[in-house]
Structure 1
Amino acid sequence: MTGAPDTGGPGGPGPVLDLAGLGFGEGAHLLVRRALAGLAPGAVLGVAGHDPALPLHLAAWCRREGHRMLPGPFPDPRVRAAVRRRPRDRDTGRRHGAERAGSPGPDGVVARPPAHWGPAARGALVEAGGPPVPFDVADRDIAWTDLAPRLYAHAAAAQWDPATAVDWAAPFTLPDAVEQAVVQVMTYLVENEQTALVIPARLLARVHPHFREVLQLLAVQAADEARHVEVFTRRALLRGGRMGTSSAGGRASLASLLAEPDFSLAFFLLSVLGEGSFLSLLGFLDRYAPDPVTRRVARLARRDEARHVAFGVAHLAHRADRDPALHGRLRGAVERRHDALRDTAGLNDDVFDALVVLAAGAWTPEAVARGHRAVRRLREEMDEGRRHRLARLGFPDDEAAELSALHTRSFM
């Protein structure tokens, strides 16, 4: 039967593949490979066909694939060549230097993928050779957390479009001073979210692609932050005003985050401490927003930030289980940052006052006092949240309280 083996064989009963006039330059190897795949290791396939170069091209293909050409003559006059299938299927293990890059699912993640795997798909059969592609985060104990696949699936399903998720045309009117307070807070959020965009984008480029769920999660995290920058900027300019002030102390605090070179320490400072504190801030804005657009953008951003914090905590908990010295390094990172920012002014006074105005809701002494208490309570909530997350990483309560107190006064 043309294109498929029949029951005649090269030396008696057995399969024969008739290629008719199909040559190896026209795809004959596909039919030969398919016929051999249906045979047991070591079985013989007769190959018939009238392409003049068939024996020569088949011999070269067999050498490359690890099969063996058998010498003729053959009892069956149709057969021009015979192939003994290789003893084992190359796809089941190493052969000619090829190796399996783990297995596709999360359970197939290896401890330390080599540099020459580069961007090979996890679970692929990686041929020998090819250039090494260096990634400095190439250790499962550094890059991985078992929560990453689930968090990525949640992140992919939770994406939202700024153009449709927010009703930008919702009617509202605010006094000028309240609108200015919203603009100032939005300005502060933008510069913090721009920093939170750059950090995962930088870290992403350092992670070995074998840990693909971590790459995917970092990419979505950067996309989340880009979206936050867009909606906070859009809300700030919604009523035609200008952006607010950016303090030197605030920028110094953010610069210290950008300067942290260690993968896990950068996550610790950004996600566990900084973005964790921002969960409280965005919850505050949800409660005290003076208009529906401000409330909506704060609520949407908070959902994303909660996922970022969950990943940071899970990643560091994974590392802490495997590295007893990690707690000392985390503590050192907090202390170094505190010392570097000791002489800065802390939270922008304009931001603090704007938060008081939003929480006050009126211009009476009693309302302003209420707003001031609400902002003080916000600081306490941030401290409580930091101490809780530090305790989840294994810090004793007294040390967690001490480290939380050393966190930057600029919140992030």
Structure 2
Amino acid sequence: MTGPDPPVLRLGPLGFERGAHLLVQHALRGLRPGEELGVAGSDPALSVHLRAWCREHGHRVRTPEPGEHGVREWVVRGRSDLDRWSDAERAGDAGPGRVLARPSPAWGLAARGALVESGGPEGPFDLADRDHVWADVAPALYARAAAEQWDPASAVDWDTPFVLPEEIERAVLQVMTYLVENEQAALVVPARLLARIHPHFREVLQLLAVQAADEARHMEVFTRRALLKGGGMGTSSAGGRQSLGTLLTEADFSLASFLLSVLGEGSFLNLLGFLERHAPDPVTRRITGLARRDEARHVAFGVAHLHHRATLDPAFRARLRSAVERRHDVLVDTAGLNQDVFDSLVVLAAGEWTPRAVARGHDAVVRLQGEMDEGRQRRLVHLGFPPDEAAELSALHTRNFM
């Protein structure tokens, strides 16, 4: 008894230079190794191209006998065409949040969950340990961040009419200058870190990329507000720049997240809330409110990551403490917060030029500093520090807020 006739693929005039290999490959996918596929077609170069393609993909070609259904060639299915991936390593599970503890450097830029052919270059990613970059909340925070993106051109009514006294407008300009300076540092830090993270942790990469985009948008709106009424930018103190510079030199992902997001941006949440409450005009109120919403996500990820790492390794808290002390020692002789910024905050909180109002404004800024301290202590306690140690570390935080 003979079996059914082997299948024949009829290509007509289609040649390999126009995609015939896709049909051959598709037809072979339904055969077992050793089974044959007849290939028929009128393209003059079909036999030459088919034989070359089969050599490359591990199949064998048999010349047909005369009169075999007009078949140009018989292809004997080999193992290496579709089976060449059978021994390939899979780069983990593609599902959200299903990440390996330490993905292979050989995966490079392969998508998580992909079959990775051996022999490719290793990626230049030194942050390849899950516990050094991960937080379980990262996928949800990224989804939230993507949904909450806003366009400065449409989210802010820049044409809202308002007129401020010259001294009040000058105070706004100074505060905006200070905010831009700090947001520039807050952009550089995640931008430098994300280039080092193994792409297997894609949700963290995506989240940090959106965080950098947030900071770029904040720089835009704070600069635009400063220039809105034709004024110039305010002053930039050497101490302030030195304080921010210490954030740029921290190479450890967790420590950089701790100093920037948990302590610095955490304090900035209070500052932006203060500015939203005391804003002398609707544009300033709007942009500080929008920025505060973004910064809350940045702080949430930093706190979640540090909590994850400190829970796994309680001894890691000693490194967090050392990072705070080291930064304090570097900045101990600097002037701290730009006096022009402090005075501008007092002016905005005062709202008018009377002794009573200025005293009220000064008290409000002092309360702001107290709220920043309470917030830092609360986050430090959440990370596992005893309350007295949390208070001590919070007091060592830079006087420049960030």
Output the TM-score relative to the length of structure 1.
0.88
CA distance in structure 2 between the aligned counterparts of 1:56 and 1:108, rounded to whole angstroms:
47
Confirm whether residue 90 of structure 1 aligns to residue 80 of structure 2. no
Q: CA deviation at 1:381?
A: 0.9
The 3 A distance-change label for structure 1 pair 388 and 71 is: farther
What's the counterpart of residue 386 of structure 2?
396
The 3 A distance-change label for structure 1 pair 396 and 64 is: farther
What's the counterpart of residue 253 of structure 2?
263
Q: CA deviation at 1:144?
A: 2.2
Amino acid at match of 1:392: H
What's the counterpart of residue 360 of structure 1?
350
Confirm whether residue 46 of structure 1 aligns to residue 41 of structure 2. no
CA distance in structure 2 between the aligned counterparts of 1:171 and 1:129, rounded to whole angstroms:
63
CA distance in structure 2 between the aligned counterparts of 1:151 and 1:161, rounded to whole angstroms:
19
Greater CA deviation, 255-264 or 60-69? 60-69
Of all paired residues, the percent bearing the same amino acid is 70
CA distance in structure 1 between the aligned counterparts of 2:233 and 2:69, rounded to whole angstroms:
87
CA distance in structure 2 between the aligned counterparts of 1:87 and 1:127, rounded to whole angstroms:
13
CA distance in structure 2 between the aligned counterparts of 1:155 and 1:17, rounded to whole angstroms:
51
Match of 2:182 among 192, 199, 205: 192
Q: Contact 2:59–2:81 at 8 Å: present in 1 too?
A: no
What's the counterpart of residue 269 of structure 2?
279
Q: Contact 1:265–1:333 at 8 Å: present in 2 too?
A: yes
Q: Gaps spanning 5+ residues in structure 1: where? A: 1-9
CA distance in structure 2 between the aligned counterparts of 1:235 and 1:392, rounded to whole angstroms:
36
Q: SS at 1:46's partner residue?
A: strand
Deviations 1:274-293 (A, max 9, x none): 00000000000011111111
Amino acid at match of 1:146: D
Amino acid at match of 1:335: E
The 3 A distance-change label for structure 1 pair 113 and 73 is: farther
CA distance in structure 2 between the aligned counterparts of 1:116 and 1:94, rounded to whole angstroms:
18
Q: Gaps spanning 5+ residues in structure 2: where? A: none
Amino acid at match of 1:209: P
CA distance in structure 1 between the aligned counterparts of 2:15 and 2:217, rounded to whole angstroms:
55
The 3 A distance-change label for structure 1 pair 194 and 20 is: same
What's the counterpart of residue 233 of structure 2?
243
Match of 1:31 among 23, 38, 49: 23
Amino acid at match of 1:44: E
What's the counterpart of residue 7 of structure 2?
15
Match of 1:225 among 196, 212, 215: 215
CA distance in structure 1 between the aligned counterparts of 2:308 and 2:59, rounded to whole angstroms:
46
CA distance in structure 2 between the aligned counterparts of 1:11 and 1:74, rounded to whole angstroms:
21
Confirm whether residue 175 of structure 1 aligns to residue 175 of structure 2. no
Greater CA deviation, 17-26 or 117-126? 17-26
What's the counterpart of residue 3 of structure 1?
none
Q: CA deviation at 1:28?
A: 2.6
Q: SS at 1:106's partner residue?
A: coil
| Structure-to-structure mapping, 1:232-381, within 5 angstroms | 232-381=222-371
CA distance in structure 2 between the aligned counterparts of 1:141 and 1:78, rounded to whole angstroms:
63
Amino acid at match of 1:256: T
CA distance in structure 2 between the aligned counterparts of 1:171 and 1:82, rounded to whole angstroms:
78
Amino acid at match of 1:309: V
Q: Contact 1:12–1:75 at 8 Å: present in 2 too?
A: no
CA distance in structure 1 between the aligned counterparts of 2:289 and 2:320, rounded to whole angstroms:
30
Deviations 1:14-58 (A, max 9, x none): 53323345444443321122123334x447242131567656654
Deviations 1:132-171 (A, max 9, x none): 2311112222222222222122112211121221112212
Deviations 1:285-321 (A, max 9, x none): 0111111111111101101111111111122222223
CA distance in structure 2 between the aligned counterparts of 1:279 and 1:205, rounded to whole angstroms:
26
Cα RMSD (Å):
2.6
The 3 A distance-change label for structure 1 pair 66 and 103 is: farther
Deviations 1:208-267 (A, max 9, x none): 222222222212111111111111112122222222111121111111111111111111
CA distance in structure 1 between the aligned counterparts of 2:30 and 2:81, rounded to whole angstroms:
13
Deviations 1:335-368 (A, max 9, x none): 1001111111111111111111111122222222
Amino acid at match of 1:306: A
CA distance in structure 2 between the aligned counterparts of 1:141 and 1:334, rounded to whole angstroms:
21
Q: SS at 2:7's partner residue?
A: strand
Greater CA deviation, 125-134 or 161-170? 125-134
Deviations 1:178-207 (A, max 9, x none): 111111111111111111111111112111
Q: CA deviation at 1:71?
A: 8.8
Match of 1:101 among 91, 94, 107: 91
Q: Contact 2:58–2:81 at 8 Å: present in 1 too?
A: no
Output the TM-score relative to the length of structure 2.
0.90
